[in-house]
């Protein structure tokens, strides 16, 4: 039985996240519908992670087993001819035993902040535009606090009991004029974790939080109430 793996990308603006939800447009729902049209039987589609409504992906990995066989290049062409313009398939291959949920080795998320009153319609759908002046140096000075093994429960929306200690391999903040880019790399993430980390960085930049507050959050105390807008978040890379 072939196990197909898809490398895809999507603009999350008009999606309610990845996971299928009743009466809502989701990436998994749209992709599953097209796959079932091609294969003419139900498809069990597994994604590498959940994404919130409005979040984008430059790279996303999914897989599905099927008893039918399609040449991978033919399937790539068929999918891209039928999918809407806000979803694109980059690569298709078969890999026995691969499960997108469990076998991905890590992910890199990018969050973009546009710190200006000016509006750029080419960036607006993919960033959080903040017109108030942020202290970039102050923000950059605490980014290193997020690296390493910490209890990120203060930065997460916990829907069920789960491990809240996450090892962040890399975290960086880069300024490119008015554009601020935050990147974070880890094997796995908690829900809202990246958006609340960015929210806390912004509040540090506004002078409304101190470094000691971040340290307290990272010790598992309290709850970070500041959640950055979804549209600024992009799953940039999936490590296989």
The residues annotated as belonging to the active site are 52
Residue 201 burial (CB count, 10 A): 28
């Amino acid at each position: 039985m072939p196990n197909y793996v898809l490398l895809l990308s999507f603009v999350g603006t008009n999606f309610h996240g990845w996971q299928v939800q009743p009466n809502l447009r989701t990436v998994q729902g749209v992709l599953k519908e097209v796959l079932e049209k091609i294969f003419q039987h139900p498809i069990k589609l597994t994604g590498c992670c959940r994404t919130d409504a409005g979040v984008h992906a430059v790279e996303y990995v999914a897989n599905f087993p099927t008893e039918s066989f399609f040449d991978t290049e033919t399937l790539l062409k068929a999918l891209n001819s039928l999918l809407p313009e806000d979803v694109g398939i980059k690569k298709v291959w078969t890999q026995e035993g691969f499960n997108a949920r469990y076998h991905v080795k890590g992910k890199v998320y990018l969050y973009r902040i546009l710190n200006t009153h000016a509006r750029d319609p080419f960036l607006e759908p993919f960033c959080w535009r903040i017109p108030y002046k942020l202290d970039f140096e102050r923000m950059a000075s605490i980014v290193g606090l997020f690296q390493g093994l910490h209890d990120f429960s203060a930065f997460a929306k916990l829907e069920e009991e789960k491990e809240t200690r996450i090892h962040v391999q890399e975290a960086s903040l880069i300024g490119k004029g008015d554009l601020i880019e935050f990147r974070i790399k880890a094997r796995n993430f908690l829900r809202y974790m990246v958006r609340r980390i960015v929210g806390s960085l912004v509040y540090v930049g506004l002078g409304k939080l101190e470094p000691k507050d971040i340290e307290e959050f990272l010790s598992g105390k309290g709850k970070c109430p500041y959640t950055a807008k979804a549209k600024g978040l992009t799953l940039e890379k999936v490590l296989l």
